[in-house]
Amino acid sequence: MSDFITANQKAWDKQAESQQIWSTPVDTETISEAKQGNWNIHLTPTPLPKEWLGDIKGKRILCLASAGGQQAPILAAAGAIVTVFDLSTKQLEQDRLVAVRDNLELEIVQGDMRSLHAFTNETFDLIFHPISNLYIPDVNPVWQECHRVLKTNGKLLASFFNPIVFVDDREKKPEEQDIIKPRFKMPFSELDALSSEQIAQKHQKQEAFVFGHSLTDLIGGQINVGFNIAGFLEDWQPTPRFVIDNYLPTFLATLAIKIG
């Protein structure tokens, strides 16, 4: 169990080195546009509604588990005071690259999203947490820590996968690739679902281990720690990977407000 964090850190370091889709830094033109007030940010594939963020100038924002040189630099260029926090050293290097290149002030902190001990209570006005909690087995510590470090009336903007994407059989025969074959219940863990040989292969290939969570934990967990869910949206997978992606929007996002 303890090995999955190290494995996932290595997996994202590898993605950053090969500049995969969530590891490719934004260009200088994008930052210049953001400084002029022309910018978009993504929790899901579709740009986030601006009203979810509100006026971010001068606001303290934590980009949680969202390094890669994309969201944090844009928010900083748009006038926010931004801290980016992530497990992957190489992902954080992408943010540092953009900050140096485009003269941005950006605090960069490495750590596990389940423990924000680097920050005191009520530090941030807003937390931006794009899809990343599929890399941990329990999301509830994340919600607890987010609630602690947010100011009263602060916002948590989070996204995650609809848990239905984790129920399908992932070892289907080629002729079954267009068939939905439910196999797994929530919560889902690759550490439990895979054989020891398959786990060893993922370690060798430096592939991340993933976990599926119930809506009770993903949404109810936020409510349980003191958040009010003030916004909800669904979004479609632009490049379907699973059969179910073709039939319903599998990206979910919530706007939660700390009410006390």
CA 50 to CA 204: how far, in whole Å?
A: 42
pTM of the complete model: 0.95
Peptide bond preceding 25: is omega within 30 degrees of 0, i.e. cis?
A: no
CATH of the domain spanning 3-258: 3.40.50.150
Q: How far apart are CA 187 and CA 136, in angstroms?
A: 11
- Hey, which bits of the chain come out as E strands? 60-64, 81-86, 106-110, 124-129, 150-161, 188-189, 211-212, 227-235, 251-258
Q: Which residue has the tokens 């490719």?
A: 24
| pLDDT one-digit tens code per residue, 38-72 | 999 999 999 999 999 999 999 999 999 999 999 99
| Segment 108-152, tens digit of pLDDT | 999 999 999 999 999 999 999 999 999 999 999 999 999 999 999
In this predicted structure, the answer to whether residue 1 has a pLDDT above a threshold of 70 is no
d(CA 50, CA 70): 17
Q: Among candidates 15, 65, 73, which has minimal Cα distance to 41?
A: 73
Domain boundaries defined on the chain: 3-258
